[in-house]
Amino acid sequence: MQGNGEMGLSKEEKIIMAEMNAIDDKDINFDDIPKLTAEQLDKFKPSESVMISIRMDRDLFEYYESKKKGLMIGVLREYMNNNVGF
């Protein structure tokens, strides 16, 4: 498995990626990119998070740990948003 993000790219795509990577950031022209509005920028602000510690059964932990990162938070948020009570 390749660790450089080029897995599955064609030869032509790899050439384009190499050319893009060779461009220095200061040489990129951003003039044709519209400025983001305050509303758009607000969507990128992370929500305030709190560090917690919980105990759970090992099988439950291993299940969520085996899934993609952030899945447990997504499950908890879905639970909250659907007004599921105890």
Mean pLDDT of 10-35: 92
pTM of the entire structure?
Answer: 0.31
pLDDT at position 10 is 92
On the CB side of 73, CA atoms within 13 Å amount to 8
Q: Where are the domains of the chain?
A: 48-86
Distance between CA 17 and CA 13 in Å, rounded?
A: 6
The residue type at 61: F
pLDDT in tens, 26-64: 998 889 999 989 988 888 877 787 888 888 888 888 887
